[in-house]
Amino acid sequence: MATTDNRIYSTGKRKTAVARVWIKPGTGTMTVNGETAETYFERDTSRMSARQSLELIEALDQFDVFATCAGGGKSAQAEAVRHGVSRALCLLDPEKRSVLKRAGFLTRDARKKERKKYGQAGARKRFQYSKR
């Protein structure tokens, strides 16, 4: 999380997705991996998730967002963008922190896929047991 010229940089994470986010004062355009958010995130829920933090503080048309995402799926990347934008907005205006924190946008969602264990069919599932 750092400030360069008039842009503010922050990172957001969700599952294995990592989003590097830059925000700057502008007209409200959101660019993800060189594409607009509308074309990059095919699902409406992913687009909504990426914009939630800006909608919450009613600054949707006040900032331009540029993000690069890697890892995970599109849904996790959208939530990583939301996390990164929220952290960047806190750097810009610390008074917004309580609103974003209450909505849960600053909390890193640490849920990940549990690894498969040896001697088992999956992470929790066991192989079928036969008594006889």
- Tens-digit pLDDT profile for the chain (132 aa)? 666 578 999 999 999 999 999 999 999 999 999 999 999 999 999 999 999 999 999 999 999 999 999 999 999 999 999 999 999 999 999 999 999 999 999 999 999 999 999 999 999 999 999 998
State the pLDDT at residue 1.
60
State the pLDDT at residue 5.
74
DSSP 95: G
Cα–Cα distance, 127 to 123 (Å, whole number): 11
State the pLDDT at residue 48.
95
Closest C-alpha to 22, from 82, 95, 83, 85: 85
State the pLDDT at residue 94.
93
Cα–Cα distance, 33 to 132 (Å, whole number): 57
- What's the CA angle centered on 129, arms 127 and 132, to 5 degrees? 150
Residue listed under structure tokens 């994470």:
13
State the pLDDT at residue 3.
61
State the pLDDT at residue 6.
87
